[in-house]
Amino acid sequence: MHSLVYRSVASESFTLSEIYKMLSDARDSNADHGITGCLLYHNNHFLQLLEGTKEEVLSLYNRIKKDPRHREVITLMEEPRSERIFDDWSMAFHDYGQNGSSSYIKMKQIDDFFAKSGAYEKPSKLAIPFFTNVREILFG
């Protein structure tokens, strides 16, 4: 099993309905290719964990890097893993929501921690604990 975390900037603003449409298409394809993971989107920034076989993860990541909807795609972490974090999700997704909502506040705390770690700028072993915490917050 292989994991990869990247961040990117959306080349244009997306409505939540446009994001859900992209996710619907991606989930079907991901299920067919054994890809799981989690996508976070906030203020035109994506942070995504991809999990699956090395071949499938890298193939998908190469398509993402060429996708005109993404720019400034940066790999934050890539490593073999013994198990998945999101084994039952073809692609979990969370939008931070409105300022002040409990979900926004929790996610903002995690986001602040991740940003202060420097992981946005360089590869980091904090990516896996970060997404493990995300799973706990979102899904219990």
In CATH, the number for domain 2-139 is 3.30.70.100
Q: What is the pLDDT of residues 11-61, one digit of tens each?
A: 988 777 887 788 788 888 888 999 998 887 777 878 888 999 999 999 999
Quote the pLDDT of residue 1.
93
Taking alpha carbons only, the member of 14, 109, 88, 92 closest to residue 49 is 92
**Confidence bin at 86 (pLDDT 50/70/90):** confident
Measure the CA–CA gap between 89 and 94, rounded to whole angstroms.
Answer: 12
Q: Three-class SS of residue 90?
A: coil
Chain mean pLDDT for the chain: 77
Q: Radius of gyration (Cα) for the chain, nearest Å? A: 14
Contact predicate 2/51, CB 8 Å: yes
**Confidence bin at 112 (pLDDT 50/70/90):** low
Domain ranges of the chain: 2-139
Highest mean pLDDT among 90-94, 99-103, 110-114 belongs to 110-114
* Percentage of residues of the chain with pLDDT beyond 90: 23
Quote the pLDDT of residue 64.
94
